[in-house]
Structure 1
Amino acid sequence: MSNLPTLVFIPGSWHQPTCYNKVTKLLQDQHKLKCVLVTLPSTEGNPAATFKDDLDAARGAISSETTLGRDVIVLAHSYGGIVGNSAIKGFAQPPRAVTASQTQPSTDGHVIGLILIASGSTLTGLAFMDPLFGHPPPSWRINSETGFAELVASPREFFYHDLPDEEAEFWVSQLTTQSLKALFESGEYTYTGWKDVPVWYLGTLEDRGFPVLVQRMQVGMAREMGGSVEHRELPTSHSPFLSQPEATVSIILEAVQAFTGKAGENKVHDRGKAIVAPKATLWQPATWFRFGLPLTFGRIIGRCIVIYSWGRRLVRSR
């Protein structure tokens, strides 16, 4: 098919986009999907690099495709999720209703979907660290002298514990620095892109950096706040694109089919027993605790945010 969407890949903190190489090779060679890799300025050794710099890099990659009339699917991992969500602003398909001011249809492409891997649900106006009240988790610390976030946890255990030792050490050697500014500042540029396009969320069951229960809560929260989120999980570390690239590709292809309504070269084969579609079912009590409770708790958080936002707007309108 000649009109397949372009996939724009955004990595997480400390990571180069080459971490996606296994997945992009399969997608390009076997499924004829164009893949564009984004390098985040905040991971290039400059402590002055900001979230806005990362955002501009992602938006530039998207724009380079949409201006050629190509639709785009954004795929983002971990911290890259807040970049990917925010980069969608203004690129989603506008409502079908045509206003009087629209005289000619646009020839540009649009962002038609978002795939998040072990990431959070971005909220407009909040920087990456704002939900944690500016306190870093135990896995990394603030180095005010260098301006970088420094890993305290073993990178191998944190990111790649399910990879063979030699391969894990190679990927550890590929990790870069991560500027603090990108994590703590520029909340005015963040955006809830997951409200503008359908989302597929890939959770990581054995994640030692971002617990899967928190991931499920994020999914529940987004759904309660109006997001259209399809949910899948793999029994992997924080980096499923390295430890289970074939299964990751199967989920990506499912998402592409859902976003486009087309199969073609993207036809999904047997996705394997490793892939789980989280759902609480009445006749399986264990699923009530594994999936039902965290998803429900996430919905409660989402409802509280909606009520708070509504009340805040009401007070400001008076």
Structure 2
Amino acid sequence: MSSTHPTIVFFAGGFADPTCFDTISALFQQSGYPAVYANVRSLNPSDAASVTTAKDAEHTRNQVLLPLIEEGKDVIVFVHSYGGIVGGAAAARLSKKSRLAEGKAGGVVGLVYLAGNIVREGESLLQAMGGSYPPFLKENCPSQGLAIIEPVMETLYNDVADPSFKSKAEAAMLPHALAAFETPATAPAWAEPELEGRRLYIRTLEDQCIPSFVQDIWINKTKVKWNVVDLKTSHCPFVSCPEEVVNIVLEFIKDWN
């Protein structure tokens, strides 16, 4: 189906394959928004010491965002959790407004952060979390340099009522390189004035992974204006209430072009 709507590029959080977005991706596509997934190298890597946050951003920028934009497509960057650091950096200097000023077509027309991690240029996620990992993040598991989240349900999906989802969620938990959380990020797109009025942050108020007060701290430290919407959900509302997530986003992005 051809579409005049921007393409939504999804950046998943740590420990998760982007197929976690399959349900909301399908709903966006039904509304006319093409969808593309960005894959990061720090997810279950063969060499945990070889990856960095900056490499994740560079890879997704070169392999996903730039090919779309250089085709003249408009793009909305949709991020969840750790994906906020990668997607934010990957989208830097690619806004449609700045590209238009250079006589180029296509570009990033907006940012959607769903409980997205926010760091400043040169800052790591570990620093943004206060310098220590939460107890649910199991370091050097299943091997040196990797980590997993445990328990999965209580940390990420505490509002999912379906008991059969537990086994699926645990099977989907993939190891992530600790280096991704400990290395500094490059300059983020959210800091750019060209994206003024095009930043949406969805706060997850019952989040057991990234508490809402931490999300508030991150939003405030950006010193830029966000449209903020609250969901009384766990860290992963794209599982527990996908239609609500999509409806909120569609309301904000309908005029982004």
* TM-score of the superposed pair, with normalisation by structure 2: 0.89
Question: What is the CA-CA distance between 1:7 and the residue it aligns to?
Answer: 0.3
Map 1:218-297 onto structure 2 (within 5 A). Answer: 218-222=218-222, 225=223, 227-260=224-257
Alignment-derived partner of residue 213 in structure 1: 213
Q: Which has the higher strand share?
A: 2
Going from structure 1 to structure 2, the CA distance change for 1:5 and 1:130 (only over 3 Å counts) comes to same
Code of the aligned partner of 1:49? V
Cα displacement string for residues 239-286 of structure 1 (whole angstroms, at most 9, x for unaligned residues): 0101100000011212211423xxxxxxxxxxxxxxxxxxxxxxxxxx
2:38 is the alignment partner of 1:35 = no
Q: State which structure, 1 or 2, has the greater radius of gyration over its C-alpha atoms.
A: 1
Cα displacement string for residues 142-191 of structure 1 (whole angstroms, at most 9, x for unaligned residues): 2285210233x411111112221112321221111100111112x1x422
Map 1:52-201 onto structure 2 (within 5 A). Answer: 52-59=54-61, 60-95=63-98, 105-106=103-104, 108-132=105-129, 134-143=131-140, 146-151=144-149, 153-163=150-160, 164-185=162-183, 187=184, 189-196=185-192, 197=195, 198-201=198-201
Higher relative contact order (CA 8 A, sep 6+): 2
Code of the aligned partner of 1:167? F
Alignment-derived partner of residue 271 in structure 1: none
SS at match of 1:137: coil
Long gaps (5+) in structure 1 = 261-318
Code of the aligned partner of 2:122? G
How far apart in 1 are the matches of 2:98 and 2:79? 25
SS at match of 1:72: strand
2:47 is the alignment partner of 1:44 = no
SS at match of 1:91: coil
How far apart in 2 are the matches of 1:132 and 1:72? 29
Code of the aligned partner of 1:207? D
How far apart in 1 are the matches of 2:36 and 2:126? 27
Alignment-derived partner of residue 13 in structure 1: 14
Between 1:249-258 and 1:59-68, the stretch displaced more is: 249-258
Contact preservation (8 Å) 1:85, 1:194: yes
Structure 1 runs of 4+ with >4 Å offset: 94-98
Q: How many aligned positions are there?
A: 247
Please report the RMSD computed on the Cα atoms of aligned residues, expressed in angstroms.
Answer: 2.1
* TM-score of the superposed pair, with normalisation by structure 1: 0.72
Contact preservation (8 Å) 1:161, 1:168: no
How far apart in 2 are the matches of 1:97 and 1:54? 27
Cα displacement string for residues 268-318 of structure 1 (whole angstroms, at most 9, x for unaligned residues): xxxxxxxxxxxxxxxxxxxxxxxxxxxxxxxxxxxxxxxxxxxxxxxxxxx
Going from structure 1 to structure 2, the CA distance change for 1:87 and 1:148 (only over 3 Å counts) comes to same
SS at match of 2:256: helix
Alignment-derived partner of residue 2 in structure 1: 3
Code of the aligned partner of 2:72? G
Long gaps (5+) in structure 2 = none
Between 1:132-141 and 1:244-253, the stretch displaced more is: 132-141
Going from structure 1 to structure 2, the CA distance change for 1:258 and 1:201 (only over 3 Å counts) comes to farther
How far apart in 2 are the matches of 1:132 and 1:210? 9
